[in-house]
């Protein structure tokens, strides 16, 4: 018989920690959970006593996780998600397909716009019990992989690199390699003479070395919020841009796309999930559909690049 100890945190205590972190205060968390503020405070104090660390900084403006609290909340999110998966897959064990329930996906903008829609359509058709929830996350800082690491997503569509280590407990696999191209207003006779339009997410290590050797590329004079805004500015004749294939999917006829040659830069796009969720039915179902949906003009790996690492942006 397995016994719990006084040091074990119960699921309801984990939910309280997550609610306080998400809402920024004990009162707000109480309202979310249907508890009294004193019950939330008592639960947090109990968790802090069991863990042996202060988890939240209390103040007049609310409660903010300490470094120990950030770690605790991250693990709490992941444990609670595994408990959900446990219940769903145990109930479906007698059936041939237990792929059902919520599936939280984080994706950068161009992947959400041009890669995921047909994937989710097929996923819903084959597994009507799956409930995809997609959040668009800027691929800067911790990016989409950071959402998985923080327990806020089950899987991320991410840009991958061989040089940046994944956060602990995550696994990644490459889906395809997409080339970069020069894009400019259609009909322009000297596109390389135009000013450069760029955006913050377009600065990965996969382009940096190539970029440094291209003396014809000027410093960006316009930095847009995202790749959609870049295309709009380029279409209006305000400059040129160097963009990856996904960002150019469905580009308007008012722009022209020019190949950058055999030494053009490329980037790997893949997925990131946790080692615990990698074998879950919902994640495996999504992976199958992602691998079947290869955008045109990209390279598919000969084998799974499971050692790939998520690109960290600055």
Angle at 306 between CA 130 and CA 293, to 5 degrees: 45
- Max distance between CA atoms of the chain, in angstroms, equals 78
Task: Show the low-confidence residues of the chain (pLDDT under 50).
Answer: 1-2, 4, 303-307, 314
pLDDT tens-place string over residues 208-229: 788 888 888 888 888 888 999 9
Closest-CA residue to 228 (of 207, 201, 260, 266): 201
Question: What pLDDT score does 285 carry?
Answer: 95
Question: What pLDDT score does 96 carry?
Answer: 56
For residue 127, what are the contacts with CB-CB under 8 A and spacing of at least 6? Answer: 97, 99, 100, 282, 285
Question: What pLDDT score does 213 carry?
Answer: 86
Inter-residue contact 154 to 273 (CB < 8 Å): yes
pLDDT tens-place string over residues 151-198: 999 999 999 875 567 777 899 999 999 999 999 999 888 888 899 999
For residue 87, what are the contacts with CB-CB under 8 A and spacing of at least 6? Answer: none
Q: How far apart are CA 111 and CA 127, in angstroms?
A: 21
Question: What pLDDT score does 304 carry?
Answer: 46
Question: What pLDDT score does 241 carry?
Answer: 94
Question: What pLDDT score does 163 carry?
Answer: 58
């Amino acid at each position: 018989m397995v016994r719990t100890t006084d040091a074990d945190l119960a699921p309801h205590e984990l939910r309280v920690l997550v609610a306080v972190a998400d809402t920024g205060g004990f009162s707000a968390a109480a309202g979310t959970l249907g508890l009294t503020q004193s019950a939330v405070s008592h639960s947090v104090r109990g968790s802090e006593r069991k863990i042996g660390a202060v988890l939240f900084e209390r103040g007049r403006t609310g409660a903010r996780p300490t470094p120990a609290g950030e770690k605790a909340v991250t693990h709490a999110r992941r444990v609670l998600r595994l408990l959900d998966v446990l219940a769903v897959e145990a109930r479906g064990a007698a059936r041939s397909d237990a792929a059902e329930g919520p599936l939280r996906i984080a994706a950068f903008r161009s992947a959400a716009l041009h890669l995921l829609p047909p994937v989710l359509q097929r996923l819903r058709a084959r597994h009507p019990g799956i409930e995809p929830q997609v959040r668009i996350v800027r691929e800067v800082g911790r990016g989409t992989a950071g959402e998985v690491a923080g327990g806020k997503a089950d899987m991320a569509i991410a840009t991958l690199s061989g040089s940046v280590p994944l956060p602990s407990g995550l696994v990644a696999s490459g889906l395809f390699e997409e080339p970069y191209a020069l894009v400019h207003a259609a009909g322009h006779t000297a596109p390389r003479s135009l000013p450069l339009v760029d955006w913050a997410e377009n600065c990965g290590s996969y382009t940096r070395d190539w970029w440094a050797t291209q003396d014809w590329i000027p410093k960006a004079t316009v930095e847009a919020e995202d790749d959609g805004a870049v295309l709009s500015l380029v279409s209006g004749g305000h400059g040129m841009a160097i963009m990856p294939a996904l960002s150019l999917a469905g580009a308007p006829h008012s722009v022209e796309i020019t190949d950058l040659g055999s030494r053009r830069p490329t980037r790997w796009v893949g997925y990131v999930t946790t080692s615990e969720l990698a074998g879950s039915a919902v994640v495996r179902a999504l992976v199958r559909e992602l691998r079947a949906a290869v955008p045109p003009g990209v390279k598919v790996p000969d084998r799974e690049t499971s050692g790939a690492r998520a690109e960290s942006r600055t």
